[in-house]
Amino acid sequence: MGVNNEKRAVLILKDGTIIHGKGFGALGTAIGELVFTTSMQGYQEALTDPSYAGQILMMTYPLIGNYGINKTDFESDKIQAEGFVVRQPSDLHSDRDATKSLNEFLKEHNKPGIYGIDTRALTRKVRNFGVMPATLITYVGELPAESMSSALNYNYSAINFVEKVSTKKPLTFGDGGTSQRTVVLIDYGVKLSIIRELVTRNLKVVVVPHDATAKQIKSFEPHGILLSNGPGDPAILTDQHKTIRELVNYPIFGICLGHQLIAHAFGGDTYKLKFGHRGSNHPVLDKVRNRLVITTQNHGYAIKNMPKDFEVTHEHANDGTIEGIHHKGKPIFSVQYHPEASAGPHDSKFLFDEFVKIL
C-alpha cells in the first residue's frame, strides 16, 4: 500500500516555526520533543526503541521505508516515538522478510507522520537552537483547531517516561545453560536486542520493573546486574539512584540511561545536551584499548561531573563527552552508547563478553 497523498500535515515548533507538508501514517496529533537521528537505516528499530518515548523522531537520511517492516527487528512491542518526520517515505518496499509498509505500520500503531519537507534544513535548525517541543498534526481537509500552544507547556525533562515504558512484572528469558548464571536486568526501557545478547551468552535473564527494590532484586540470587537504556532525564529518578547504591557489591553493567544512573548513584551529575547523540555512526575513543569504535547512540543527556572512585574509559571523538566509566575498585562499568547496536555496527559487542567474564 502506498502513501495516501490526500493527507496533509503540519509541524509546529515551540519557537513559532510552522512547517507544512504531506501526511502519512495515522490521522491525529502528536506532541513531543523534536529530535533527529543520523542513521541511514534501522527505522523499525528506532521507532520501537523505548528511549524515544516522548519524542518526535526525524530521520536525516532522505528516503525511508524502502525495505518495509518485518517481524523480527522490533526493540519493543510497539512504536514508542510520538511521531515520525521524513523527507520521503517509499511508496514501494522490497524485502523478503517484509510483512507491511512503513505507512501501514504507523497507521496500525496510531502514529502520525509528515513528509515532503526539508529535513536537512530542519536538522540544521535543531543543531543551531537545540531540541524543542513540537506538535505534529496529520489531517484531511481543513487544519484542525490545534495550534502551537499544544507544545508550549511541554517539558520533556520533567516527565518520568521510564515508568511508562518499563515492564510491570518480572519476566524471565533463557535458562542459564550449563553455567546456570543469572543476570537481573533492571528495565528502564530496555531494547530487546540487549536481552538477546545476554541470552546468546548462556545467561538466564530476569527482567524486573524500574521500581524493583534492592531486596526484590537480591531475591533472584543474581550473579550480576544490568542497568538498561531508557528515556528521559536521569536526574529525576532518585529512587533508582538509591537502589543502585544498595547493589554496589554485585558486578554491574550500565548501558545508556543505566550509565547515567550509575553516575548519579555514586555522586556524579548529568546535563542535557543541546541536540543529543542519535544515530549509528558515532565515533568513540576507547581509552583502555587505545582504539576508535563506531557506535550506535540514542541519548539526550551526558555525564557532567564524574562520580568519586570512577575513571573515564571512553570519550566521544566529536565533542569529548564522557561515553564510558569504570569503578576503580569494583566490577562496575558502563557505556553511554549501545554495544548491542541494532541497527548499527558491532564494534562493541565484546563488552557483553567482558560482563560475562566478571560474573
Whether 33 shows a pLDDT value over 80: the answer reads yes
What residues have CB less than 8 Å from 276, skipping those under 6 apart? 35, 131, 298, 299, 300, 301
Q: Helix, strand or coil for residue 287?
A: coil
- Predicted confidence band at 274 (pLDDT cuts at 50, 70, 90)? very high
Which of 45, 197, 323, 340 is labelled catalytic? 340
pLDDT for position 148: 60
Characterise 227 by phi-psi region: left (phi > 0), alpha (psi -120 to 50), beta (else).
beta
Which residues of the chain does CATH 3.50.30.20 include? 8-154
> Longest C-alpha distance within the chain, in Å?
64
Whether 135 shows a pLDDT value over 70: the answer reads yes
> What would the pLDDT profile of 1-24 be if each residue is shown by its tens digit?
456 568 999 999 999 999 999 999
pLDDT for position 150: 77
Answer yes or no: 340 catalytic: yes
pLDDT for position 1: 42
Whether 85 shows a pLDDT value over 70: the answer reads yes
The β-bridge relationship of strands 132-139 and 28-37 is: antiparallel
Across 320-327, average pLDDT? 98
Which of 93, 210, 314, 338 is labelled catalytic? 338
Answer yes or no: 264 catalytic: no
pLDDT for position 4: 53
Across 255-282, average pLDDT? 98
Which of 256, 259, 264, 323 is labelled catalytic? 256
Which residues of the chain does CATH 3.40.50.880 include? 162-357
> What would the pLDDT profile of 203-233 be if each residue is shown by its tens digit?
999 999 999 999 999 999 999 999 999 999 9
Q: Hey, CA dihedral for 112, 42, 201, 354, is it positive or negative?
A: negative
pLDDT for position 136: 96
- Predicted confidence band at 179 (pLDDT cuts at 50, 70, 90)? confident
pTM over 0.85: yes
Compute, in degrees rounded to 10, the torsion defined by CA atoms 85, 89, 95, 101.
Answer: 80
What fold is seen in the domain 162-357?
A: Rossmann fold (3.40.50)
pLDDT for position 95: 94
The neighbour count for residue 329, using CB atoms within 10 Å, is 7
Q: Helix, strand or coil for residue 32?
A: strand
Instruction: Report which secondary-structure segment, H or E, holds 212.
Output: none
Across 308-313, average pLDDT? 96
Q: In angstroms, what CA-CA distances link 185 with 14, 139, 179, 214, 258?
A: 37, 41, 18, 12, 10
Across 119-144, average pLDDT? 95
Pick the CATH number of 8-154 from 1.10.443.10, 3.40.50.1820, 1.20.120.530, 3.50.30.20: 3.50.30.20
Residues of the chain with pLDDT > 70, as a percent, come to: 97
The neighbour count for residue 155, using CB atoms within 10 Å, is 9
Neighbour-count burial of 319, counting CB atoms closer than 10 A to its CB (0-12 exposed, 13-18 middle, 19+ buried): exposed
Across 265-277, average pLDDT? 97
Residues of the chain with pLDDT > 90, as a percent, come to: 92
